[in-house]
Structure formats: C-alpha cells, structure tokens
Amino acid sequence: MISSKYRALSAAARLDSRLIRRSLISTPSTDQGIPPPLTGIRVLDLTRVLAGPSCTMLLADMGADVIKVEEVTRGDDTRSWLPPSAAVSPNSPKESLHLPPESAYFLAVNRNKRSITVNFKDPAGLEVMQRLVRTSDVLVENFIAGKLAGMGLGWEDCKVLNPRLVYASITGYGQTGPFREAAGYDVIIEAEAGLMHITGEPDRPPSKVGVAVTDLMTGLYAHGAILAGLHSVQHTGKGVWIDCNLFETQLAGLANIASNYLIAGKEASRHGTAHPSIVPYQVFPCKGGFLMIGAGNDKQFRLLAERILEKPELADDARFANNAARVANREALVDIITQVLQRHERDYWIGRFTGLGVPFGPINNIQQTFAHPQVGARQATVEVDHPRVGKVRMVAPPVTYNGKRMPVRRPPPWLSQHTKEVMLELGYSQNEIAELRARKII
C-alpha cells in the first residue's frame, strides 16, 4: 500500500501556495493588455465533451491553472470523435505514441489546460482526487446529479476537505426536480426547451442549430457564476455550490420568445431566416449564393429600393410604404426582391450594398468565414505548437483587454501529458507514481 503522508493544508498554507503559484507564473505588463486575472487560481476540471470544457477553457484563458482529470485509457469522449483530426508528427513524444490522433473537436475547447488521468473509483485514486480538492480553488464537474456524491466527491464531501472551494455542477436539468437524474444532451434540450420548435422553415420539420449552442451558453453561464463564486469567497471565506444546467440555460436563451409567451400567451412558430415583425428581413438567393438583408425601417427600405435594387417605385407603393404594410404584403415583396437579386452574382450585390447603411451580409461557408478580412485584421485565429502534431491553428480567445488578447500559454494537452508533473506537486514520490501507474490508477 502507498503510505498516506499527505495531510490537509491549513487555510494559511493554501493561501501561501496560491501566492507561490502566482510568483512562478510570469504575467505580461499592462502595456500588453492586463495580467491574466486568474493567475494563481487552480481549477479541478472533471468535465467532458463541450459545456464543461468550454467553461473551464474560459477560466484557463484568464490564467487559471486548469487540471483536466480524464479516464485512464480513453480520456474525454471527444478525443475519439474523429475524423477530422490533426496529423501526428513523427517527432511526437515517445510516451504518447500509443495514443490515437488528436481530434479537432477536443482541440477546440481544451487549450491552456493540463491533463492527468485518474481512476477515482479505486480508493488510491480517490486519495489523489482528495489531495487535488484540498489544493484547488474551483472544482467543475458534469456528472449526473448525485453521481459524484456516491463516489465520495460530492459537494458535501469536498467542502469538508476545502471549506473555501467553489464547486460548480453542470447537468442537464439541475440538482432537483423530476428530471434531476436524466442525462443532458444539447440536441435533446434544444428539442425539449423550445429552441428546436422555433428553428427551421415554417413548412419543414423542426431543425437543430448548426452548433451545440445550448452547451456553449451553459458553459458561458457557468464560467460567469464561478467568477461570482470566487468573488464571494473573498468576502465570506466560505465556499459555494453552483448549480448550472442546460435546461434552464435554454429557457433563458429563449429571450423575447419566452417573454412573448409569459407576458401575452403568444405561442411561437418557425420563420426560417425571416422575422415575424419586420420585412424585408431574411435570406435571399442570388446568382452563386445567398445574401442576408435586414431593412429594419422605412429609411433603409427606401435606400434598398432606390439605390440598390434600382426600383424606386417600391418605396412609394402603398403596399410597401411602411413596415406594417410590408408585413401584410410579405409574399409579394419577397417575390419582387428575389427576382431582382437573381439577375446578378453575389459579389455584384455586395458591391452595391456596401457603404449605404442597409444591413446585409453574404452567407459564407466556413472557408469563406476564415478568409474574411476581419479575421486577419483582428488576428482572430492563433497558431500554437503542439508536442504531438506540430503547428495547430485555432480560434483565438475572442475578447481583448486594452487591445490585447489573453495569451494561449499551453496547447491542448495530449492524454495524461501532465500526470507525473501534477502528482509530484501533490507530494507523491517517483516510486509511488510508478506503482499507481502499474496498477492503472493513474
């Protein structure tokens, strides 16, 4: 058996350890933006797939030391979601040669983190986790409600180990209620919480959104709640349990659609790209592509009619004289605009729209999106060196501070890349680490 030499750190010792971590990590001066505000904060990340990892990546981007705990042999589910994947370099570390390629999905939401693998169903693995809990400021998990409690790592267990811990649970439906033990999947919540009902064309079946937007919104809510929790700990000295879930996030994401129903009992419906109360406000086809046009007021509609479509008579037609009339005669107006736009290529219309003040945008595919001049001008992508695959291009953190982005300090980790490093930090000896590896505990 491995000796249990490790003891819980006192509150003063934990504070000292955070100060030491701050001193060991270099921070850019204010003329390069702002110092990463979460430097010295340790986040224990027990999440998989998208909602949780996107949350912890945002914390990592702000300087937190995020330790991603993964299953020993497979890791995060998204590691196996390939193709596509990044090609493995022949110069990759020998200890990683047995691993599959790095999936594009995993790489998207795990930058700036460290990866360790722990089987915490085993008592020895549970002890590793307990040491991590004692030395962490935040724990984020997305297990089914009650699952971690049954393994000795629930909120009640962890707050005894670390009374200042911010413990964030991300689930499908929350910690209470009849669905508390149901698993949460973005596409199911989209269906169940109203989003799919309002997405798609009116004469077609409901459709999901093109990305897992409910997962991403939940990650954003959770990351904001964790920042609030850390602020609360500074004032009260007491930890907090955050209950964040996909279902309530999606309810909040219904925004004005929810308000229309709650205030006026108005049921929603699908409108495709069109707006129920504004015309013209939708995607229109043209030669070789599509344009989104949003003429939201009478001035913009007159500009559209006179300067762009070269049909000034439309602005004076009683059927289209104001927005209410245009809504009432939607079909006729949409048909007229469509006929005019289909006479020319997309680029021709982009030229005519540009600079006149009528909201518009081409429907770009992903290649066109990343070729957009704004992407280059804003340096909205970043290239990082990954030890297994070489150069990896990814979307940069989307917020700037004093004109500068938070740095990408670490590439997304390969599975178990930092296990030995973290175990040594926790006080394990080389022999103890080797024994745990042999027993497949880590």
How high is the pLDDT of residue 210?
Answer: 96
Catalytic residue among 215, 243, 316, 385: 215
pTM: 0.90
SS (H, E, C) the chain: CCCCCCCCCCHHHHHHHHHHHHHHCCCCCHHHCCCCCCCCCEEEEECCCCHHHHHHHHHHHCCCEEEEEECCCCCCHHHHCCCCEECCCCCCCHHHCCCCCEEHHHHHCCCCEEEEECCCCCHHHHHHHHHHHHCCCEEEECCCCCCCHHHCCCHHHHHHHCCCCEEEEEECCCCCCCCCCCCCCHHHHHHHCCCHHHCCCCCCCCCCCCCCHHHHHHHHHHHHHHHHHHHHHHHHCCCEEEEEEHHHHHHHHCHHHHHHHHHHCCCCCCCCCCCCCCCCEEEEEEECEEEEEECCCHHHHHHHHHHHCCCCHHHHCHHHCCHHHHHHCHHHHHHHHHHHHCCCEHHHHHHHHCCCCCCEEECCCHHHHHCCHHHHHCCCEEEEEECCCEEEEEECCCCEECCEECCCCCCCCCCCCCHHHHHHHCCCCHHHHHHHHHCCCC
Tell me if residue 215 is catalytic.
yes
- Tens of pLDDT along the chain (442 residues) come to 333 333 333 333 343 444 334 433 444 444 578 999 999 999 999 999 999 999 999 999 999 999 999 999 999 999 999 999 999 999 899 999 999 999 999 999 999 999 999 999 999 999 999 999 999 999 999 999 999 999 999 999 999 999 999 999 999 999 999 999 999 999 999 999 999 999 999 999 999 999 999 999 999 999 999 999 999 999 999 999 999 999 999 999 999 999 999 999 999 999 999 998 999 999 999 999 999 999 999 999 999 999 999 999 999 999 999 999 999 999 999 999 999 999 999 999 999 999 999 999 999 999 999 999 999 999 999 999 999 999 999 999 999 999 999 999 999 999 999 999 999 999 999 999 999 999 999 9
